């Protein structure tokens, strides 16, 4: 063999030993795939759980808003009722103090036109 061939052979062996030193460790792709599948599955279940919690929260808020609306309407009715009862109670006590009586019949007085004053 010639010197060039021997030097190339020697250089090639040095390069192969350096490349072997730089090689990455072998990866078990089956385990990587299983871990990836498990992580994706856990992410999916967590997503579904979060959507469920969000939906429950939205339903509760809607339910509470309906309850607040119903209570507000009832409160307005009670305020009106209280105001009417308070006013009617005052009117009844005032009529009793002034000795008013309930009328049984209404009688109209007839007034002649000649007795009325003329407005100019």
Does residue 72 lie in a domain region? yes
Q: What b-and-e string marks burial along 9-25, b requiring 16 or more CB atoms within 10 Å of the CB? A: eeeeeeeeeeeeeeeee
The pair of structure tokens assigned to 15 is 């390069």
Does residue 76 lie in a domain region? yes
Domain count, the chain: 1
Q: What b-and-e string marks burial along 37-73, b requiring 16 or more CB atoms within 10 Å of the CB? A: eeeeeeeeeeeeeeeeeeeeeeeeeeeeeeeeeeeee
Does residue 11 lie in a domain region? no
Does residue 66 lie in a domain region? yes
- What's residue 5's pLDDT? 56
User: Which range has the worst mean pLDDT, 3-12, 22-31, 42-51, 94-103?
Assistant: 3-12
The pair of structure tokens assigned to 61 is 């808020």
Instruction: Assess whether pLDDT exceeds 70 at residue 119.
Output: no
Q: What is the mean pLDDT of residues 42-61?
A: 97
- In terms of residue numbers, what domain contains 79? 53-96
Does residue 4 lie in a domain region? no
The whole-angstrom separation of Cα 65 and Cα 58 is 11
Does residue 112 lie in a domain region? no
Whole-model pTM? 0.46
């Amino acid at each position: 063999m010639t010197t060039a061939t021997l030097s190339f052979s020697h250089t090639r062996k040095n390069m192969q030993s350096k490349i072997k030193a730089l090689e990455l460790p072998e990866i078990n792709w089956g385990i990587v795939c299983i871990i990836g599948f498990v992580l994706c599955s856990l992410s999916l279940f967590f997503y579904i759980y979060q959507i469920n919690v969000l939906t429950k929260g939205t339903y509760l808020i809607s339910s509470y808003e309906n309850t607040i609306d119903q209570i507000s309407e009832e409160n307005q009715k009670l305020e009106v009722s209280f105001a009417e009862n308070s006013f009617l109670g005052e009117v009844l006590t005032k009529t009793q103090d002034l000795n008013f009586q309930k009328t049984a019949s209404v009688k109209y007085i007839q007034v002649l036109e000649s007795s009325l004053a003329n407005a100019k």
